[in-house]
Chains A and B, each alone.
Chain A
Amino acid sequence: MTRNRLAIAAAALLVSAAVPAILAVPARADDQDFSLIERGRYVATAADCVACHSVPGGKPYAGGTALQTPFGTLVAPNITPDRETGIGNWTEEDLRSTLRDGIGRGGKRLYPAMPYPAYTRMTDDDIHALWAYLRTLPPVSNAVEANQLPFPFNIRLLMAGWNLLNFEPERFKPDPQKSAEWNRGAYLVQALGHCGTCHTPKTMLGADDTDRALQGANLQAWYAPSITSDSRQGIGGWTADQLVAYLKTGVNHQSLASGPMAEEIQNSSSKMTDADLNAIATYLLDRKPPERTAPTALAADDARMKTGGAVYTDSCMACHGGDGKGQTFLFPTLADSGVVQADDPTTLIRLVLDGSRAVATGARPTGPAMPPLGWRLNDADVAAVVTYIRNSWSNAAPPVGADEVAKVRKALAQAD
């Protein structure tokens, strides 16, 4: 425990501007080791801690983004080393049990909005590096009321029962049959990247439905599409290079990231190494898709297809083209798109209603936007055009009803 006390003492001295740096107790080399801290920074980037533990425009890691869960609102706390409002009086062991068991300092139970069901797989080395990095952050005084859930969900002890049912603390187990690259990718996807938090469907209790891992899920009026190698609804049609381009630049031959994925790319994957992104691609594209029979496309003379075609010609074709091919790196290709043909059309509907801006990265700095069309199209029009897009060119997917559009429109109005 001496080591931890020393680390805290050193951190406390560092934050106190009144104390000349020369008086600071030299910290132990292993905790202040530059390469260790840099590695911790990379772990924090790959784990995208900043996405939840910061507000846009605010101080990184000082907490504050409200997460709307089906059970109520949770706010990610301040994880800077501030003693009163952050984790300044934590130990490395506190961080370890937070990440691995969902139990914070003083036995406080976390809610799984903090993806400890993924972070539980983190290696010792990564947690140690992350801790070293978090200690170097400037402490920010920002008190966050993390638990804003309604009764009874606000009782943290409930999570003991939840964990019993839904959570197994376990470390990442490499698959000896697979390559080192594949295993690195699996570790990044399952543990640090916590991709399943958005892309894996949830059970009634809000836990990952592991039988359908990464097959696509609905959250916050977005549908995070399947990232299995399903060629129709997933990313099976992409090459490893195309997937790496998407994760690194936000843009590839077919798609442009927007919404929560834009944030992920901006904060996390665009800053990861090419080797790690290639590892992710190796792992994801190797995941077998579930057996699904593709539906038959609606007939072109279906009334919905006719109306939808008219809307498409008048409102969409100028950018996405009569052939649904769009314009590479600028307007997404709708033909053969996973998110277009997904069983859940939420993302497609919301993009038509509300528009969106694609991510801007150093490599692809344009960040083109799709204008909102919800003011111009009523629910039936949107349903028709979405149905048309899902069943034109080589696409085939179930038709969409006006009631589904109304639901998304309502959710968007509430989010504003």
Chain B
Amino acid sequence: MTPSERPKTGRPSVFHTSRRRFLATTAMGLVALSASGAHAKILFGTGLPWDSGAIEPPRQVLPGPWTFFTAREAEMVEAIAERLIPADDLSVSGKDAGCAVFIDRQLSGHYGSSERLYMKGPFQQGLPTQGDQSGLTPAVRYRQGLKALDEHCRRTMGGKSFTELSPEQKDQLLTAMEKDEVKFDGPVSAVSFFGQILKNTMEGFFADPVYGGNRDMVSWKMIGFPGTRYDYRDHVLKHNQKYTLPPVSIGGRSDWARKG
């Protein structure tokens, strides 16, 4: 792939940058080696490179206008998320946890365009263990899948759209999709669309709140996951005691994190 063939996404790719950096570093190392013959050489300067601006921290996703979904699509995704993870005495629903916001931002980002995957043909039917092998990006799957779902409902549910169905009807339809008992028109099958949205809803529910879902770390509080803590030396020897530190997100927690 020549540089001109590279998909133009309008956003700098993290991988391209770090790859270039990696190559530059390697080249420097080679120069250093060749300049000094067989002996390793200490690069003049202050040792290992350090550039505090080199990290690309994740930006806090804020609820707001949809970046990928149309209003209608968003409504449907929220309705599905609400059935996949219904509100109960353990947690709020997938919709209220922000799963649709999470999916929306993912679809308008590199995930939606499969930017980091090899996406040139030939596309062949692979084995189930090989995962998705089609040329359809997640963005296309959602666009086509939601369209097919809505059409399917209007055709088979007496003209009603998916969002107008009762909770029980929605569950029945989703269950049928999961069991591959529903036939969608278009390139995306009902069963694969169900698998896709179930997976993404769970990701939104359990991923760090910085990405738009898991609002207020609701799922982490539910299951007792401590979040972005990674050192437990102070607790290792405290046997049979409850771990009391609250979970913390990449963006912080309400005791100190910047608001809004």
Contact = CB atoms under 8 A, between A and B. Distances in A.
A334 to B, nearest CB: 15
Contact of A56 (B46, B251, B256): B46
Interface in A332-383: 354-357, 359-360, 367, 369, 371-372, 375-378, 381
Nearest to B57: A375
Interface stretch (A203-211, A308-316, A391-399): A308-316
A57 B44 CA distance: 6
A384 B256 CA distance: 9
A263 B46 contact: yes
Contacts of B228: 314
Given A56-B45, A314-B253, A369-B50, A381 B258 contact: yes
A124 interface: no
Contacts of B256: 307, 310-311, 314, 377, 381, 384
A262 interface: yes
B55 A310 contact: no
Given A310-B255, A376-B57, A381-B258, A317 B52 contact: no
A262 B233 contact: no
Nearest to A358: B47
A298 to B, nearest CB: 17
A291 B91 CA distance: 60
Nearest to B43: A57
A178 B256 CA distance: 54
Interface string A105-124: 00000000000000000000
Interface in A264-321: 266, 306-307, 310-311, 313-314, 317-319, 321
A318 B253 contact: no
A359 B48 CA distance: 8
A360 B57 contact: no
B233 A314 contact: no
Interface string A163-207: 000000000000000000000000000000000000000000000
B250 A322 contact: no
Nearest to B258: A378
A64 interface: no
A376 B46 contact: no
Nearest to B245: A313
B50 A60 contact: no
B229 interface: yes
Given A318-B229, A318-B230, A375-B57, A360 B47 contact: yes
Interface in B1-56: 43-48, 50, 52-53, 55
A312 B88 CA distance: 34
Nearest to B59: A375
A357 B47 contact: yes
A317 B231 contact: yes
B50 A266 contact: no
A377 B229 CA distance: 16
A319 B57 CA distance: 19
Nearest to A319: B231
A218 B259 CA distance: 32
Interface string B226-239: 00111101100000
Contact of A354 (B47, B52, B231, B245): B52
B253 A266 contact: no
A359 B46 contact: yes
A242 B65 CA distance: 58
Name the residue in A266, A310, A359, A371 with the highest tally of chain B Cβ atoms < 10 Å from its Cβ. A310
Nearest to A327: B233
Given A319-B231, A371-B55, A310 B46 contact: no
Name the residue in B234, B251, B256 with the highest tally of chain A Cβ atoms < 10 Å from its Cβ. B256
A326 B52 CA distance: 21
A376 B250 contact: yes
Interface in B199-242: 228-231, 233-234
A321 B231 CA distance: 9
Contact of A367 (B47, B233, B248): B47
B109 interface: no
Given A318-B230, A321-B233, A381-B258, A310 B253 contact: yes
B252 interface: yes
Interface in B151-184: none
B47 A321 contact: no
Given A375-B57, A376-B57, A376-B251, A360 B48 contact: yes
A248 to B, nearest CB: 15
Contacts of B258: 377-378, 381
Nearest to B50: A357
A307 B234 contact: no
Contacts of A57: 43-45
Contacts of B248: 314
Contact of B50 (A313, A322, A356): A356
A384 B57 CA distance: 22
B234 A321 contact: yes
Contact of B234 (A310, A322, A354, A367): A322
A74 to B, nearest CB: 21
Contacts of A378: 258
A359 B47 contact: yes
B231 A60 contact: no
Nearest to A310: B255
Contacts of B252: 311, 314, 376-377, 381
Contact of B55 (A313, A372, A416): A372
A320 to B, nearest CB: 10
Given A357-B47, A375-B55, A376-B252, 9 more contacts: A56-B45, A307-B256, A311-B252, A318-B230, A357-B50, A371-B55, A377-B252, A377-B258, A381-B252
Interface of A: 54, 56-58, 60, 262-263, 266, 306-307, 310-311, 313-314, 317-319, 321-322, 354-357, 359-360, 367, 369, 371-372, 375-378, 381, 384, 416
11 contacts: A57-B45, A307-B255, A311-B252, A314-B229, A319-B231, A321-B234, A357-B50, A360-B48, A367-B47, A377-B258, A381-B256
Closest 4 CB pairs of A and B: A318-B231, A360-B47, A357-B50, A56-B45
